[in-house]
């Protein structure tokens, strides 16, 4: 049982490690060239925040998994939504930092934020603690969405994308 807890808690960090790999070069080359709002968190905050958020969401998924007795038929929607939001989360960094597609990244993060909200709604009747563990993540995504929007608007793409 503890293997499930460790595995599900660690799972989101896999995408985080990949995202860090994609971002590492870009935060030294491309990202500094962009106009960013004054309220943007410092670069050093992002790995700390994401490590905390990934740990919280991973443990929350374990609570849902445990409450529903594993990947049962009852777990299809709540765990399916969780998996979808996790895939969307992992996809944002390569879109924004890898491909430099700020507008596409904005649309993607808006879908991600809605999917996290839907995940939380599906989790609430199952486990309120799991739902509450997702609240900081949803709040951070709202900030990140605003930041993505502001960066996209303040850095027009010469190709009009």
Mean pLDDT by 10 residues, the chain (161 residues): 92 88 88 96 93 97 96 96 97 95 97 98 98 98 98 83 56
What pLDDT, on the 0 to 100 scale, is given for residue 110?
98
The number of distinct structural domains making up the chain is: 1
Which residues contact residue 27 at a Cβ distance below 8 angstroms, ignoring those fewer than 6 apart?
Answer: 43, 97
Residue 128: inside a domain: yes
CATH, residue 89: 1.20.1260.100
CA distance 111 to 88: 8
What pLDDT, on the 0 to 100 scale, is given for residue 157?
76
Which residues contact residue 104 at a Cβ distance below 8 angstroms, ignoring those fewer than 6 apart?
Answer: 95, 161
Largest CA distance in the chain: 53
Residue 129: inside a domain: yes
Residue 120: inside a domain: yes
The single-letter DSSP state of residue 41 is P
CA distance 112 to 39: 22
Q: Which of 68, 64, 112, 106 is nearest to 90 (CA)?
A: 112
CA distance 36 to 124: 36
Residue 45: inside a domain: yes
CA distance 98 to 109: 15
Q: Which of 80, 52, 78, 73 is nearest to 140 (CA)?
A: 52
Residue 53: inside a domain: yes
Residue 160: inside a domain: no
What residues make up the domain containing 92?
A: 2-154
CA distance 120 to 23: 28
Residue 122: inside a domain: yes
Residue 87: inside a domain: yes
């Amino acid at each position: 049982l503890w293997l499930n807890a460790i595995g599900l808690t660690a799972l989101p960090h896999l995408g985080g490690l990949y995202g860090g790999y994609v971002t590492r070069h870009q935060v030294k080359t491309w990202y500094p060239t962009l106009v960013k709002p004054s309220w943007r968190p410092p670069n050093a905050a992002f790995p700390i925040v994401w490590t905390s958020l990934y740990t919280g969401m991973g443990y929350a998924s374990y609570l849902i998994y445990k409450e529903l007795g594993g990947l049962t038929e009852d777990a299809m929607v709540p765990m399916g939504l969780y998996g979808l939001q996790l895939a969307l989360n992992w996809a944002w960094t390569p879109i924004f930092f890898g491909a430099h597609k700020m507008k596409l990244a904005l649309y993607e993060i808006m879908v991600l934020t809605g999917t996290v909200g839907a995940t939380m709604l599906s989790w609430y009747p199952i486990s309120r603690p799991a739902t509450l563990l997702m609240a900081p993540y949803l709040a951070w995504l709202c900030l990140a969405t605003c930041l993505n929007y502001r960066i996209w608007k303040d850095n027009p793409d010469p190709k009009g994308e």
